[in-house]
């Protein structure tokens, strides 16, 4: 069912200045949706600022070539945010996700509108346009641009394409529908470049990172008849490749790509606190958060983490015993 964009149209009819914001640790859906909507509002003659509580991560800054996104406290004051007639929150409806922008919005008398696709959230005190079946807020913004009667430009299409492509894991999640491809076809027609976007986002590894990943992949061993995969990164792996701890990001998902593996565990030695960091992932109904919680960690059912005192072999033994008792 098409969304009712009346709350947005009414806001646009009654307000001249807008502040758009989104969640902490902003991703392409957050930033891309902000830029797409900001450009559309500017086309209608509105004054628009995008103000987040957090800075844009460097690797996605390319979707903001005009540097439209500002950070609260870095050249933007709460008073300036309060001066806007309306605040639009994108890609979250939770106070806890807004960081320092939460208090600024709470103290403001400006009209509020939330455009989101997340199931959970708070009452932020304004109108809400939410579709929890939407694969990305970027698609909702594309619809909003149509509803406002604004022509889609290349400058809007590029960040919105990045938003939809990344929130769908490059069009492979179950949230993807025919409507996703219809929207994306329009974005590409308007000038979005999928090949260039993919390359800019993902072909950016350092050689040290790829070397480290190779060593982690070599370390993989399976347990429980191939249902659990363990991999690790040791002090020697970091020393000999020159990679940094952050370079283990995403490798755990490679463990999960092995046929038959339901649970993947990546163990990383953290010399500064004498602990082993465990990243757990599940692709079945098995809840890895419950395992992490046994050792004082936390997370989600399908992705959790914990730091266990002691070296990698001890941490592996403790986690394996817990997994065996729960999965066997």
Query: Which chain residues interact with Mn ion by CB under 5 A?
Result: 29, 91, 137, 167
Residue 99 or 297: which CB sits closer to Mn ion? 99
**What count of Cα atoms within 13 Å lies in the side-chain half-sphere of residue 99?**
15
Smallest separation (angstroms) from Mn ion to the CB of 120: 13
Structure tokens at 166: 């990344």
DSSP helix, strand, coil percent of the chain (3-state; round to 5): 45, 20, 35
The SS3 of residue 222 is: strand
Q: What is the distance of C-alpha 143 from the center of its chain?
A: 21
What are residue 209's phi and psi, to 5 degrees? -65, -45
Residue 63 or 137: which CB sits closer to Mn ion? 137
Alpha carbons 207 and 209: distance in angstroms, whole number = 5
Residue 176 or 323: which CB sits closer to Mn ion? 176
Q: Beta 228-233 vs 263-270: how paired, if at all? A: parallel
Alpha-carbon Rg for the chain in angstroms: 22
Residue 142 or 243: which CB sits closer to Mn ion? 142
Residue 167 or 247: which CB sits closer to Mn ion? 167
Alpha carbons 5 and 148: distance in angstroms, whole number = 9
Which residue has the CB atom at the shortest distance from Mn ion?
A: 29
Residue 91 or 223: which CB sits closer to Mn ion? 91
Smallest separation (angstroms) from Mn ion to the CB of 83: 28
CA distances from 23 to 17, 125, 135 (A): 21, 17, 17
- How many other C-beta atoms are found inside a 10 Å radius of the C-beta of residue 276? 25
Residue 41 or 137: which CB sits closer to Mn ion? 137
Smallest separation (angstroms) from Mn ion to the CB of 117: 6
Contacts 24+ apart (CB under 8 A), 221-226: 222/258, 222/261, 223/320, 223/323, 223/324, 224/323, 224/324, 224/327, 224/328, 226/258, 226/260, 226/261
Smallest separation (angstroms) from Mn ion to the CB of 167: 5
Smallest separation (angstroms) from Mn ion to the CB of 305: 21
Residue 91 or 237: which CB sits closer to Mn ion? 91
Alpha carbons 46 and 143: distance in angstroms, whole number = 19
- Let me know if 78 is exposed, middle or buried by CB neighbors in 10 A (0-12, 13-18, 19+): middle
Smallest separation (angstroms) from Mn ion to the CB of 256: 22
Smallest separation (angstroms) from Mn ion to the CB of 23: 9
Alpha carbons 297 and 275: distance in angstroms, whole number = 13
Residue 167 or 237: which CB sits closer to Mn ion? 167
Smallest separation (angstroms) from Mn ion to the CB of 137: 5
Smallest separation (angstroms) from Mn ion to the CB of 97: 11
């Amino acid at each position: 069912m098409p969304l009712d964009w009346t709350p947005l149209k009414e806001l646009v009819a009654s307000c001249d200045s807008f502040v758009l914001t989104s969640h902490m640790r902003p991703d392409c859906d957050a930033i891309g949706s902000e830029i797409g909507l900001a450009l559309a509002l500017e086309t209608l003659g509105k004054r628009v600022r995008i103000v987040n509580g957090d800075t844009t991560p460097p690797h996605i800054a390319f979707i903001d070539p005009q540097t439209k996104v500002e950070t609260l406290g870095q050249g933007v004051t709460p008073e300036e945010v309060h001066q806007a007639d309306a605040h639009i929150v994108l890609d979250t409806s939770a106070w806890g996700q807004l960081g320092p922008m939460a208090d600024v919005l709470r103290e403001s008398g400006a009209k509020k509108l939330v455009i989101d696709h997340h199931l959970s959230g708070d009452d932020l005190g304004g109108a809400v346009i939410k579709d929890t079946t939407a694969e990305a807020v970027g698609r909702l913004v594309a619809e909003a641009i149509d509803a406002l009667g604004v022509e889609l430009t290349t400058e809007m299409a590029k960040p919105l394409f990045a938003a939809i492509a990344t929130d769908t894991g490059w069009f492979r999640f179950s949230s993807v529908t025919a409507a996703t491809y219809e929207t994306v076809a329009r974005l590409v027609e308007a000038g979005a470049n999928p090949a260039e976007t993919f390359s800019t986002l993902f072909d950016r590894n350092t050689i040290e990172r790829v070397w480290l990943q190779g060593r982690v992949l070599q370390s993989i061993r399976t347990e429980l008849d191939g249902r659990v995969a363990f991999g690790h990164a040791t002090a020697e792996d970091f020393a000999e490749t020159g990679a940094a701890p952050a370079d283990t990001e995403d490798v755990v998902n490679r463990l999960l790509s092995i046929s038959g593996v339901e649970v993947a565990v990546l163990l990383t030695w953290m010399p500064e606190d004498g602990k082993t960091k465990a990243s757990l992932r599940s692709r079945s109904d098995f809840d890895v958060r419950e395992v992490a919680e046994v050792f004082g960690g936390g997370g989600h059912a399908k992705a959790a983490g914990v730091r266990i005192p002691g070296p990698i072999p001890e941490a592996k033994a403790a986690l394996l015993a817990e997994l065996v008792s729960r999965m066997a």
